[in-house]
């Protein structure tokens, strides 16, 4: 199918469904004009991508790609940045640890969901917010690639992330509020698993006990992705274990809209 046909097919289906909603819900022309004004404001605020990520990305990633026997996949969201440095020493943070931050060690294995064997030549591409809920959009602080050992084990050192608002203000938040939904994401860490030039898994895991786990506006929380953060006597901080099982059908889990954040609130 050509890209032209794909656009026509998707647009036609969205129009058919929207027209049916107009009929079923008796949406008035005034309400359509009000919606149009809202969409204009959304565009001016640069929040179209946030809105689509909030409402549709999880459905695309989880419902269509599915877990396929492996770790449940999850959305990338808008804050992924390609080209993160390989962190040979396992540290995701740059410079000294800020005193306000809680050190976090994450350990686990990467195995094949079918055979249980360690996956060879896997690399984790990790990105996360800091303890104040901020992503580094200018550089690569709390972003990095972690090489997985031949025995399938990995380890990286970072800080405990905090939840954040998406986006902090603007029409997206107004709409969520009108729907009775707040705009706070629960604390999480994103990662992709690269094996050679393939990316068989993209997911995120959540800190057990974090605020908003049961009311994520993006609806991305899945029980197998919630991980306990235990005390770590070695660092005085926390440690988490997250074992990753790669799906049997090693397709490519990346979203089409790859790359750095294009729209929405700067982070
Ligand atoms: C995120 O997890 O980074 C995210 C997901 C959806 C919208 C905005 C941010
Ligand atoms: Fe995120």
Indicate if ligand 1 lies below 6 Å from the C-beta of 79.
Answer: yes
Q: Mark the residues whose beta carbon lies below 5 A from ion ligand 2.
A: 77
Instruction: Report the pLDDT value the prediction gives residue 209, as an integer from 0 to 100.
Output: 97
- Within 56-170, strands assigned E span 103-112, 122-128, 143-147, 153-159, 164-165
Indicate if ligand 1 lies below 6 Å from the C-beta of 77.
Answer: yes
Indicate if ligand 1 lies below 6 Å from the C-beta of 167.
Answer: no
Provide the 10 A C-beta neighbour count for residue 32.
12
C-alpha 79 – ligand 1 centre gap (Å): 7
Q: pLDDT (tens digit, 9 = 90+) per residue, 41-100?
A: 999 999 998 899 899 888 888 766 666 789 999 999 999 999 999 999 999 999 888 889
Q: pLDDT (tens digit, 9 = 90+) per residue, 124-154?
A: 999 999 999 999 999 999 999 999 999 999 9
Q: pLDDT (tens digit, 9 = 90+) per residue, 20-34?
A: 999 999 999 999 999
DSSP 225: G
Q: For ligand 1, pick from 79, 130, 143, 190 the residue to mutate: most ligand atoms within 8 Å of CB.
A: 79
Instruction: Report the pLDDT value the prediction gives residue 260, as an integer from 0 to 100.
Output: 36
Q: pLDDT (tens digit, 9 = 90+) per residue, 161-220?
A: 999 998 767 999 999 999 999 999 999 999 999 999 999 999 999 999 999 999 999 999
Which residue blocks in the chain are alpha helix, DSSP H?
A: 3-25, 29-44, 48-52, 58, 171-178
Least confident of 51-60, 106-115, 224-233: 51-60
Instruction: Report the pLDDT value the prediction gives residue 249, as an integer from 0 to 100.
Output: 56
Look at ligand 1, atom 2, and give the residue with the nearest C-alpha: 77
In this structure, the dihedral spanned by the alpha carbons of residues 89, 90, 96 and 101, taken in order and rounded to 10 degrees, is: -160
């Amino acid at each position: 199918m050509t890209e032209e046909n794909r656009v026509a097919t998707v647009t036609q289906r969205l129009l058919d469904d929207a027209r049916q909603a107009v009929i079923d819900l008796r949406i008035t022309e005034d309400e359509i004009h009000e919606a149009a004004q809202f969409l204009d404001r959304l565009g001016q605020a640069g929040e179209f991508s946030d809105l689509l990520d909030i409402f549709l990305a999880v459905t695309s990633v989880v419902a269509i790609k599915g877990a396929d026997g492996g770790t449940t996949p999850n959305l990338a969201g808008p804050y992924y940045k390609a080209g993160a440095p390989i962190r040979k020493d396992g540290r995701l943070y740059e410079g000294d640890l800020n005193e306000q931050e809680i050190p976090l060690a994450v350990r686990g294995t990467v195995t094949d969901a079918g055979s249980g064997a360690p996956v060879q030549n896997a690399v984790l591409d990790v990105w996360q917010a800091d303890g104040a809920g901020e992503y580094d959009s200018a550089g690569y602080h709390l972003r990095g690639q972690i090489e997985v050992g031949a025995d399938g084990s990995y380890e990286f050192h970072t800080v405990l992330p905090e939840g954040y608002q998406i986006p902090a203000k603007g029409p997206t938040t107004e709409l969520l509020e009108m729907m009775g939904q707040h705009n706070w994401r629960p604390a999480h860490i994103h990662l992709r698993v690269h094996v050679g030039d393939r990316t068989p898994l993209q997911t995120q895991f959540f800190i057990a006990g974090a605020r908003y786990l049961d009311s994520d506006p993006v609806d991305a929380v899945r029980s197998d992705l919630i991980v306990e953060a235990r005390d770590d006597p070695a660092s005085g901080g926390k440690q988490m274990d997250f074992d990753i099982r790669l799906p049997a059908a090693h397709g490519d889990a990346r979203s089409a809209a790859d790359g750095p954040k294009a729209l929405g609130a700067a982070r």
